[in-house]
Amino acid sequence: MSGHRPLKRWEKRGVRVNDFLQSVSIPAVFSAGDAATSGSLPLAPVASYEGQVVAANLLKGNHQRPNYLGIPSVVFTVPPLAAVGLSERGACDQNLKFRVKKEDDLDLVFVSATCGNIFWVKVLVEVDTDRILGAHILGSEASEVINLFALAIRSGIRATDLKRMLFANPSSGSNMTRML
Ligand SMILES: Cc1cc2nc3c(=O)[nH]c(=O)nc-3n(C[C@H](O)[C@H](O)[C@H](O)COP(=O)(O)OP(=O)(O)OC[C@H]3O[C@@H](n4cnc5c(N)ncnc54)[C@H](O)[C@@H]3O)c2cc1C
């Protein structure tokens, strides 16, 4: 036995790929979406996005890497549970210094006939940079409001700037300023 082990071509989830979504073992193969062992969750928007990256790399050579920053996910229960970015544990694992805004006190529950109900919120903000690290929301409008946090994380909008936003009222997004 030489001890040499062949390169593993796939994981349980799918094809093992490099940063350009190209198979690590067969360069002629690219993989996107659920069939790829990439760095993101198996979600429909991610599959479409990775398909675009693969197409670009196939046509013009490897020059695009997918950016998985700020991809929201939603558990479509009643009410929906939505998340984007880091969890508290994930942020701790990365030794980040962050503050947590948590609203699970019944007095702070936002209830509105037109804006929907937000029952529970947790938002993580990095202390030094003021960037939003993660947001977790439970409520009937969670799947909409989480998109605003995703936009902020992906575009690097600071928490202070978001807090200064003037949102249309009434709207589910207008609750955001109270979550920061
Ligand atoms: C129950 C369920 C609920 C979900 N809900 C959500 C949600 O709410 N939001 C969200 O973002 N994501 C959701 N997802 C995940 C989402 O559906 C997938 O991440 C997404 O469809 C992946 O797209 P894809 O193109 O990679 O694969 P697929 O959509 O699975 O497409 C692969 C296609 O390839 C075909 N195929 C397979 N083998 C072969 C073959 N040998 N030859 C030719 N064709 C083949 C299949 O028939 C299929 O049509 C859900 C998934 C499930 C199972």
Backbone torsion region of residue 18, taken as left when φ is above 0, otherwise alpha when ψ lies between -120 and 50, otherwise beta: beta
| CA-33 nearest atom, ligand 1 | 26
pLDDT in tens, the chain (180 residues): 444 555 566 677 789 999 999 999 999 999 999 999 988 899 999 999 999 999 999 999 999 999 999 999 999 999 999 999 999 999 999 999 999 998 875 444 555 656 677 788 999 999 999 999 999 999 988 999 999 999 999 999 999 999 999 999 888 888 888 888
Of 43, 68, 93, which residue sits at a domain end? 68
- Which residue's CA lies nearest to atom 27 of ligand 1? 34
Are 156 and 109 within one domain?
A: yes
The reported pLDDT for the residue numbered 105 is 52
Residue 146 contacts residue 83 (beta carbons within 8 Å): yes
The pLDDT of residue 46 is 97
What is the whole-number distance in angstroms between the Cα of residue 34 and the centre of ligand 1? 7
Handedness of CA 29, 33, 36, 40 (dihedral sign): positive
Residue with tokens 């062992």: 37
Ligand 1 probe mutation, 21, 40, 43, 49, most atoms within 8 A of CB: 43
pLDDT at 159: 97
Question: 49 C-alpha to center of ligand 1: Å?
Answer: 14
Which residues line the pocket of ligand 1, CB cutoff 6 A?
33-35, 42-45, 47, 76
Q: Are residues 87 and 175 in the same domain?
A: yes
SS3 148: helix
Q: Distance between CA 178 and CA 160 in Å, rounded?
A: 12
Residue 155: give the domain boundaries: 73-179
The DSSP letter of residue 170 is S
- Find the helix or strand (DSSP H, E) in which 75 lies: strand 73-75
Examine the domain organization and report whether 159 and 83 are in the same domain.
Answer: yes
Same structural domain for residues 81 and 144? yes
Does residue 39 lie in a domain region? yes
Q: Distance, CA 134 to ligand 1 centroid (Å)? A: 26
Predicted structure pTM score = 0.90
Indicate which residue's Cα is closest to atom 12 of ligand 1.
43
- What does the alpha-carbon distance between residue 12 and residue 25 come to, in Å, rounded to a whole number? 16
For residue 23, what is the DSSP state?
B
